[in-house]
Homo-oligomer: A and B are copies of this chain.
Amino acid sequence: MARAPNELTAVEALAAMASGQLSAVALTRACLERIEARDSVVHAFAYLDPALALAEARSRDERPAGSLNGLPFGVKDIIDTHDMPTAYGSAIHAGHRPGADAACVALAREAGAVMLGKTVSTEFALRHPGPTANPHNPAHTPGGSSSGSAAAVADFMVPIAFGTQTGGSIVRPASYCGVIGYKPSFNTINATGVKPLAASFDTVGLLARSVDDCALVAGVLAGVRRNTPLEAVKPARVGVWRTPAWRHAETATVRAVETAAQQLARNDVVVTDVELPPEFELFLDAQSDVLRFEAARVFAFERTRRAESLAPSSRDELAAGAAIPRHRYLEAQALLGRCRVIFAAAIAPFDVLLAASAPGEAPAGLGNTGEAMFNRWTSGLRVPCLNVPGFRGPNGLPVGVQLIAALDDDARLLRAAKWIAARIGDEA
């Protein structure tokens, strides 16, 4: 192999292990060496126990367990693990030892995957950032809240990592770090053992370096029985959905979306614009009301008993949520419900929609993980979406575009994304 083991995608690494060219121990060791070399700059990991990871890898080599046998994976630190501490990105829970692995972790391990370590999350997946830097330029944010998962995958520390998205916490960091970020349809990957933020939107997803990897791992976790290799399928029709947030798109994002649309059209895909009715002008406010109302209850203990240990931005957000009366929450939920019905009809003529993944490239500084106004649509609608990297901004940092499919139409999204990912991006 020309590439180092830690540079392989998950599907490539699994094939190399199945054919005996690579052992789980060697792969895990390569990942750990990359982390050792780079994590003092990137700070992707919140917790690492190399001996534990290597022991798990060794047992996979000795007793192969399933379709992910020997595959190293990273776990966002808001996801419980029984043998590594889980602090939810918060000083309040520093050193906390959960009594069980989260469902996604236990299922990945049941299939033979090797847990490498815990990746940095913003505090409770809210806005307050951890120490993670963008591997493409450590003076820039990696995005958040799945900061460490996106950075670790981008920096070849691990082929795949769990993230979660409630607002924009998978697709935005994926765009900033130049990797695939896949937020499945709501309730595709069981969320047990993931610290909630707003249960109406919380979705477990994946950061990876190939669409195939997302399809493979999500299929195992979702309980798909016949998990055949992902086929690339050319979409017949793609809609370009700029959303009411389009005025926030910077030049780099505008150029990425328009270029991708032109590249698809040149490949004989029918590309047309999508406009949604006025309900969608109220959508982001409604999504915010629901998120904050629920978060104020999710973190009732921390808000009422540990407020002094919350970041000011978390405290403000939770206080804002506690001030929302129930009738406004129910009205916001009703609006989102209507928008889901409208969206289902609007997307029906298309295979997928093309949209912005983020306002632009990763902003400078580590104090702010960027804005989610291009992501909260899919979170509120509960539909699957995926960041396809391939473009660069004015500072040479990655810029991706977002593909979106109808609810529970993840298979179509992934097949189209595989086809599209090979055909869009900056031209040499």
Q: Which A positions have Cβ atoms within 8 angstroms of B?
A: 82, 92-93, 96, 99-103, 105-107, 109-110, 187, 190-193, 196, 199-200, 222-225, 293-294, 297-298, 300-305, 324-327, 329-330, 408
Contacts and interface: CB of A to CB of B under 8 A. Distances in A.
B99 A298 contact: no
B326 A225 contact: yes
Contact of A103 (B93, B99, B297): B297
Given A187-B199, A191-B199, A294-B190, A101 B325 contact: no
Nearest to A324: B223
Given A223-B325, A329-B223, A301 B196 contact: no
Contacts of A305: 82, 101, 106
A317 to B, nearest CB: 16
7 contacts: A93-B100, A101-B301, A106-B300, A107-B297, A110-B304, A187-B200, A330-B408
A64 to B, nearest CB: 15
A107 B223 contact: no
Contacts of A92: 99-100
Contacts of A106: 300-301, 303-305
Contact of A190 (B103, B297, B324, B327): B297
A276 to B, nearest CB: 23
A101 B302 CA distance: 9
Contacts of A110: 300, 304
A8 B186 CA distance: 44
B199 A304 contact: no
Nearest to A219: B326
B224 A297 contact: no
B326 A107 contact: no
Contacts of A327: 225
A302 B101 CA distance: 9
A161 to B, nearest CB: 19
A82 B306 CA distance: 12
B293 A325 contact: no
Of the candidates A193, A222, A298, A300, the one having the most CB atoms from chain B within 10 angstroms of its own CB is A300
Given A199-B187, A330-B408, A82 B301 contact: yes
Please name the 8 residue pairs, one residue from A and one from B, whose CB atoms are nearest each other, closest first: A106-B300, A190-B297, A106-B301, A100-B301, A223-B326, A101-B301, A225-B325, A192-B298
A127 to B, nearest CB: 19
Contact of A326 (B96, B192, B224, B326): B224
Contacts of A329: 223
Nearest to A98: B99
A326 to B, nearest CB: 4
B330 A103 contact: no
A408 B408 CA distance: 25
A115 to B, nearest CB: 12
Of the candidates A93, A103, A191, A293, the one having the most CB atoms from chain B within 10 angstroms of its own CB is A103
A3 to B, nearest CB: 33
Contacts of A82: 301, 305
A100 B105 CA distance: 21
A300 B107 contact: yes
A294 to B, nearest CB: 7
A329 B297 CA distance: 30
A331 B224 CA distance: 13
A297 B192 contact: yes
A298 B221 CA distance: 12
Contacts of A109: 304
